[in-house]
Amino acid sequence: QVQLQESGPGLVKPSETLSLTCSVSGYSISGGHYWGWIRQSPGKGLEWIGSVIHTGTSYYNPSLKSRVNISMDTSKNQFSLTVTSVTAADTAVYYCARGASYWGQGTLVTVSS
Amino acid sequence: EIVLTQSPATLSLSPGERATLSCRASQSISNYLAWFQQKPGQAPRLLIYDASNRATGIPARFSGSGSGTDFTLTISSLEPEDFAVYYCQQRNNWLWTFGQGTKVEIK
């Protein structure tokens, strides 16, 4: 059974870098599929941030591309998200997902001083 | 960027009624459309992929149709647990976008 779990700081200061990790169990991330990050600001809809495929190639939302990086660590069966120069607008629940089928439970990240 | 427009924003129905949700793409996306259900405090759940295929474990009362730019999610007879927010999502050239959501609420 594929399971995903997000982890990382729940509070980040403005202008700093947000870093999250998604730990995957039940499936090897190097075995295929694409692994992505999606966020949801409080009371708002879903926003795709980006995805990385098993080859390591990444794809990003054009509106966030300049500030976002997604990478894989196959030795730990994890993939990670970094968002630089955060503002209050980056406050959201961040989800990791395998394709569209399997999602983590989400983790709330608040940007505040 | 492909924009998905969902309508209506809110649908007020009673249990047992039929729900019809619409999603329109700003350009053709073939059948690369999925539908998700989201309840408060939960992650989205995949209902339909590739426009008309039910995901594993999804009841038959959920069905999807459409291709190109116009898509529909139909819930044939609403159960109490179906009142939630529904999002459509497209994948084109590895880039995703979501619609803004339709809330199905109890009338």
Torsion angles phi and psi, residue A66, rounded to 5:
-70, -15
Q: Which residue of B has its CA nearest to A60?
A: B95
The single-letter code of the amino acid at B8 is: P
d(CA A4, CA A22) in angstroms, rounded, equals 6
Size of the A and B interface in Cβ pairs below 8 Å: 51
Asked if B46 reaches chain A (Cβ–Cβ under 8 Å), the answer is yes
Chain A nearest CA to B97, separation (Å): 6
Whole-number percent of chain B with pLDDT over 70: 100
* One pLDDT digit (tens) per residue for chain A, 113 residues: 999 999 999 999 999 999 999 999 999 999 888 999 999 999 999 999 999 998 889 999 999 999 999 999 999 999 999 999 999 999 999 999 999 999 999 999 999 99
d(CA A12, CA B73) in angstroms, rounded, equals 38
* pLDDT tens sequence across B11-66: 999 999 999 999 999 999 999 999 999 999 999 999 999 999 999 999 999 999 99
Sign of CA dihedral A103, B54, B88, A36: positive
SS (H, E, C) B2-61: CCEEEECCEEEECCCCCEEEEEEECCCCCCCEEEEEECCCCCCEEEEECCCEECCCCCCC
